[in-house]
Amino acid sequence: MASFDIKEQYDKIYRYCYFKLSDRDLAEDITQETFLKYYEHYDFMSETKSLKYLYTIAGNLCIDEYRRTKPTNLDEDYEGPIHEDRVVENVSIRNALSKLTDEEREILLLRYANDVQVSVIGKIYGISRFAVRRKIMAAKENLEKELRKEGAYEQI
Amino acid sequence: MNRFEDEIKAAFEAPKPKRKEEFINLIKPSKMSVGRFLLSQMGYIRKSTWIVFALILICIILAPFVLDYATLWFISALMPILAMSLVTESARSERYNMAEMEAATRFSLRSVIMARMAILGGINLIAILIAAPIGIKYCSFNSFSSGLFVVTPFFITSSIGLSIVRKIKGQAGFYAVMAETFVVSMLMLLNKNSALGIVPPESVRLWSIVTVVAIVATIKQGIGMINNLEDITWSW
């Protein structure tokens, strides 16, 4: 009994895997395996707990995959952002994001790209909401610093 | 979301998945039925709870052969013990400081406690349904009054007991519930003699009011207990 919208979560888990593995097909394979594993074992769960398990399964599967085949940079067939006027800004932000730590990048993806609630992120990492907020703030500050170094922050 | 956060979101834009619809149409989530879930949770109820239940049931069935007309009050005195097993088993996680650990299992703690309460409530109902006709048969009161004498101590104990375990955590709460059970049990035994009883058996209206208040309080405490379970997740 899933307590979430599978269509919505499919995209989010896929995005999470894609930015971990940098491979479109592999990310989709892992996304599907995540849901299959989830449905194999978990029932009667609150939404918070379901999301925690989904991200934990996806994260573990990505780590396994990463160990097997070390992925390179993001896909060549990736068309990039849809709006042309944002291309430059996005390239700058992506460059700056690549300089952050894996955890910082992941926490920003979860919070801003996947709209995961702070309490759920706390459960995924096993930390309090207060600690999550602090990590998000720190990640944003570091991202801002990187953007300033590139002189791209003012454009945003 | 401000512009900076919007840009972060846009930077994480991924290419569209190719096989999403196909997968969603194919996948059929295995759905565990409520019955199967309850059955799975039955195994986690402690053996001592089942033993207490079985002993009470044996005592209820054998009571008329030994006690004759005191049977009703004996059954009334057993009801608080039945309620105590429900309360202490429901609050088991708190008693052993296991709530946080149980919250990390595959089912939510809320569903587990609700299942536990439903199972124990169900078996207690069976015990009451067996006890009531026996009590009614071996007493001089009418069926309604006798039924009240069986049901009331159960709900008084469970309502006060649940409120105790919500306020007093750990082993101390368990001992407080035991003491409360003993007091209610004794009061029911004393009621055998109208002169000693706090609430005279003849006062059906008063017993009815007490029963209704106790049932409402039990439901309220039970809901409160389940609602409070999510709060334990907050920690520094």
Is A56 found in the same domain as A28? yes
Q: Which of residues 17-56 of B touch A (CB under 8 A)?
A: 17-20, 23-24, 27, 29-32, 37
Q: What CATH number corresponds to the domain at position A126?
A: 1.10.10.10
Q: Give the model's pLDDT for residue B39.
A: 84
Q: CA of B153, closest CA in chain A: separation in Å?
A: 34
- A73 and A96 in a single domain? The answer is no
- Is residue B82 within 8 Å of B125, Cβ to Cβ? no
pLDDT at B72 over 90: no
Residue B196 has pLDDT above 80, yes or no: no
Q: Which residues of chain A neighbour B31 with C-beta distances below 8 Å?
A: 1, 43
Predicted confidence at residue A83, as pLDDT, reads 46
Q: Provide the pLDDT for residue A110.
A: 93
Q: Are residues A66 and A108 in the same domain?
A: no
Which amino acid is residue A140, in one-letter code?
A: K
Q: What is the pLDDT of residues B209-225, one digit of tens each?
A: 888 999 999 999 988 88
Contact between B177 and B164 under an 8 Å Cβ cutoff? The reply is yes
pLDDT number for residue B1? 59
DSSP 8-class letter at B232: G
Q: Which of A24, A45, A109 sits opposite B15 (nearest CB)?
A: A24
**Per-residue model confidence as pLDDT tens digits over B19-64:** 888 888 887 665 667 788 888 888 888 888 899 899 998 988 888 8
pLDDT at B145: 79
Q: Return the residue in A6, A19, A36, A49 with the most chain B beta carbons within 10 A, the one to mutate for interface testing.
A: A49
Looking at chain A, the whole-number percentage of residues with pLDDT higher than 90 is: 34
> Which of B5, B30, B111 comes nearest A39 by C-beta?
B30
pLDDT digits over A36-71, tens only? 888 876 666 666 778 888 899 999 999 888 888 765
Q: Give the per-residue pLDDT at A154.
A: 65
Q: How many domains does chain A have?
A: 2
What is the pLDDT at residue B100? 55
Q: What is the mean pLDDT of residues B104-130?
A: 81
pLDDT of residue B155: 92
The predicted pLDDT at position B99 comes to 57
Last residue within a domain, chosen from A24, A55, A78: A78
Least confident span in A120-129, B32-41, B94-103, B168-177: B94-103
Least confident of A76-85, A108-117, A129-138, B84-93: A76-85
Domain that holds residue A123: 86-156
Facing B7 at nearest CB: one of A41, A49, A156: A156
Both A71 and A128 in one domain: the answer is no
pLDDT at position B163 is 92
When the pLDDT of each residue in chain A is averaged and rounded to a whole number, the result is: 81
Q: Which of B211, B65, B203 is nearest to B128 (CA)?
A: B211
3-class state of residue A75 by DSSP: coil
pLDDT at B174 over 50: yes
Smallest Cα distance from A151 to chain B, Å: 15
Query: What pLDDT was estimated at residue B234?
Result: 42
- Tens of pLDDT, residue by residue over A95-142, are 888 888 989 999 999 999 999 999 889 988 888 999 999 999 999 999
Q: Write the DSSP symbol of residue B170.
A: T
- Of the candidates B48, B56, B207, B214, the one whose C-alpha atom is nearest the C-alpha of residue B134 is B56
Mean pLDDT, chain B, rounded, equals 81
pLDDT tens digits, residue range B132-162?
888 777 777 777 778 888 888 999 999 999 9
Tokens of B14: 């991924």
Q: Is B13 near chain A, with CB under 8 Å? A: yes
- CA A21 and chain centroid, separation: 11
Residues A91, A71, single domain; the answer is: no
Is A7 close to B24, i.e. CB distance below 8 A?
A: yes
Do both A95 and A129 map to the same domain?
A: yes
Identify whether residues A129 and A152 lie together within a single domain: yes
Which domain-ending residue is among A58, A78, A98? A78
Q: Pull the structure tokens for residue A58.
A: 């996806």
Tell me if A113 and B107 make a contact (CB, 8 A cut-off): no
Q: How many CB pairs under 8 A join A and B?
A: 117
pLDDT confidence bin for A14, thresholds 50/70/90: very high
B158 vs B167: CA distance, rounded Å: 14
Indicate whether B199 pLDDT > 70. no
Answer whether B106 touches A (CB < 8 Å): yes
